[in-house]
Structure 1
Amino acid sequence: MAVDNEGAARGSHTTDGADGTSWEPDWDDEYAPVVKAAGRQIKLWRESAGLTQQELGDAIGYSLGMVSAVERARRLPHPEFLGKADEVVGAGGKLAALKKDVEEARYPKKVRDLAKLEADAVELGAYGSHNIHGLLQTEEYARALFNMRRPAYSKDDLERHVAARLARQRIFERTPTPTLGFVLDEATLRRPLGGRMVLRHQLEHLLEIGQLRHVEIQVMPLDREDHAGMGGQLQVLKLKDGTAVAYSEAQLITHLVSDPKEVQVLELRYGIIRAQALSPRESSAFIEKLLGEIT
């Protein structure tokens, strides 16, 4: 991550859309040792049990190529892989114990970085202009969104990104609870990404999440003549240490802003967006009305 002349840290990826600049695994970060250690442990336990890669694969329902790739840290083992391998080689739970760390390594690094910030936030405010915010997405909506990505994700990468997005939603269950606010452009509520039933379930989910005491969901109607969010979607996070950071997004690029002056601009902009949007109660009624229009 580079730092520009104004002092704002800038990323080179999107955080909440379905786009990105790389198709390659990004395990060459702090999780690389976890991935490599898992592969070594699987190989050691397999050899100790006197099994070839083919025999282990046959026993747990995976191909020779998959077992080989996992042992060489070229592919991440699924939790099911670890569980079955643990039983077959008699590891006594030692391989199964790797599930949590390996599962976290499955998530793209850029998503883990964002999730860490969200986990440290005491307050989060976000404005979405072209799709429902990732923290509010249903699984089927998120999968439809990632499935639209061009160039297309592989099946494994698609599932990896969906799982990472859903994992971020644990923020709603965190204690102490952070204050979460979302302003959704009306267009995001009308755009039937994935189909009309996917949209219907998504709107129902918004109504459910909006009932949480620490969550406020607002709608920015299309008929507004004054709109402070025309520069695109943004997110502002106030952290436990009293500092704040912000995100703004564009094609292929997300700017992570940490310079206090720039963060202040985006905080001000988000505050105006909230004031221009419908109130949470009006927004709930608006979403219910949209639900009634879906047949």
Structure 2
Amino acid sequence: MGEVFLPGNHRYLGNQFMMWRQEAGMTREEVAEAVGYSAEMVRSVEQGRRACPPRMAEIADELFGARGKLKAGLSYLTREKFPARTRDYIRHEAESVSIWSYECVLIPGLLQTEEYAQALIGGRCPAMDEETVAERVAARMERKQLFTRKPPVEFSFVIYEAALRTPMGGAAVHKRQLLQLLEVGSLRNVALQVLPFSRVLSGALSGSLVILETRDHVRMSLAEGQQVSLLTSDSNEVHVMTESYAKFRMEAFNAEESAQFIQRLVDEL
């Protein structure tokens, strides 16, 4: 995805931090020791790649003799809605005209209910504070606006059976999640298919993938794994992902069969 930079207000505070440090005649290493963070963290803050922690700004303000001018910038900072590794993808997703998504272990984020997302995000390790969890869940729900955007986005989802059988959040949450899939799958601009255990391909077990097309007709692919996301517009990579998705979709139940399969899962609960 390349280097990720924070919004302008974060970068501005980082630049101010650097200027005050230089005026105080201190090195990053000296500041790092005083504020209790690494020198690399100080560098990242100054370069706008990491948000300045409030504690760092407060200690540095006194250290640099800024007389409140540095820490005053904390009130203008905005918290990021999405993890750094997914921000580029989210930006392109918001401007897409088509999205093809394959998921092997979880319900795709765009299809998740709030309860399901809460259970998923809130259960991650290491644990996040409640405010961050709530913000991440709300941001995920905001993405659903794509389903009603005009002009409409064309969606294709293929979901491996394992993801549909995992009761994330418990039986009641699981049932409501399956019912939501049936509801969204009935939309005219959405094709939702189930890849059953009996038809799985080896490549389908390697991880999730997304292929999107932007308004400028640029195709991009996203491959995800444990704490890793790779977004690319490289034509060779996109071609490989597109071929894989085509195979998964071909082996999956058609839309009608998929809806019937999901309904049977609902009836079992």
How do 1:48-197 residues align onto structure 2 when only pairs under 5 Å count? Answer: 72=72, 74=74, 105-197=80-172
Find the partner of 2:253 among 254, 259, 278. Answer: 278
Structure 2 residues not aligned, in runs of 5+: 14-53, 59-70
1:264 corresponds in structure 2 to: 239
1:92 corresponds in structure 2 to: none
Task: Quote the Cα distance in structure 1 between the aligned partners of 2:176 and 2:138.
Answer: 18
1:29 aligns with 2:14: no
Task: Quote the Cα distance in structure 2 between the aligned partners of 1:153 and 1:163.
Answer: 15
Higher RCO structure (Cα 8 Å, ≥6 apart) = 1
Contact map agreement 2:100 2:157 (CA 8 A) in 1: yes
Task: Quote the Cα distance in structure 2 between the aligned partners of 1:188 and 1:129.
Answer: 6
Task: Please state whether the residue corresponding to 2:205 is helix, strand or coil.
Answer: coil
Task: Please state whether the residue corresponding to 1:151 is helix, strand or coil.
Answer: coil
> When the two structures are superposed, what TM-score results if normalisation uses the length of structure 2?
0.72
1:289 corresponds in structure 2 to: 264
Give the residue type in structure 2 aligned to 1:269. Answer: S
Deviation by residue 1:108-155 (Cα, 9 ceiling, x = unmatched): 454443222112211110100110000000000000001110111111
Alignment length (residue pairs): 215
Report the identity percentage.
35
Cα RMSD (Å) of the superposition?
2.6
Measured at CA, do residues 247 and 162 of structure 1 come closer, stay the same or move farther in structure 2, by a change above 3 Å? same
Task: Quote the Cα distance in structure 2 between the aligned partners of 1:165 and 1:35.
Answer: 27
Deviation by residue 1:65-94 (Cα, 9 ceiling, x = unmatched): 9xxx9x8454789xxxxxxxxxxxxxxxxx
Task: Quote the Cα distance in structure 1 between the aligned partners of 2:76 and 2:180.
Answer: 32
Give the residue type in structure 2 aligned to 1:238. Answer: E
Task: Quote the Cα distance in structure 2 between the aligned partners of 1:207 and 1:29.
Answer: 38
1:93 corresponds in structure 2 to: none
1:198 aligns with 2:198: no
Contact map agreement 1:108 1:164 (CA 8 A) in 2: no
Structure 1 or 2: larger helix share? 2
Measured at CA, do residues 106 and 188 of structure 1 come closer, stay the same or move farther in structure 2, by a change above 3 Å? closer
> When the two structures are superposed, what TM-score results if normalisation uses the length of structure 1?
0.66
Task: Quote the Cα distance in structure 2 between the aligned partners of 1:181 and 1:72.
Answer: 47
Task: Please state whether the residue corresponding to 1:193 is helix, strand or coil.
Answer: coil
Find the partner of 1:233 among 208, 219, 223. Answer: 208
Contact map agreement 1:135 1:165 (CA 8 A) in 2: yes
Deviation by residue 1:150-194 (Cα, 9 ceiling, x = unmatched): 111111111111111111111111100011011111111110011
Give the residue type in structure 2 aligned to 1:233. Answer: S
Task: Quote the Cα distance in structure 1 between the aligned partners of 2:266 and 2:155.
Answer: 23
Task: Quote the Cα distance in structure 2 between the aligned partners of 1:174 and 1:263.
Answer: 25
Task: Quote the Cα distance in structure 2 between the aligned partners of 1:73 and 1:145.
Answer: 33
Task: Quote the Cα distance in structure 1 between the aligned partners of 2:213 and 2:249.
Answer: 17
Find the partner of 1:217 among 178, 185, 192. Answer: 192
Structure 1 residues not aligned, in runs of 5+: 3-10, 12-25, 37-64, 78-101
Measured at CA, do residues 233 and 75 of structure 1 come closer, stay the same or move farther in structure 2, by a change above 3 Å? farther
Task: Please state whether the residue corresponding to 1:223 is helix, strand or coil.
Answer: helix
Give the residue type in structure 1 aligned to 2:192. Answer: I
Measured at CA, do residues 106 and 226 of structure 1 come closer, stay the same or move farther in structure 2, by a change above 3 Å? closer
Task: Quote the Cα distance in structure 2 between the aligned partners of 1:265 and 1:72.
Answer: 50
Contact map agreement 2:161 2:195 (CA 8 A) in 1: yes
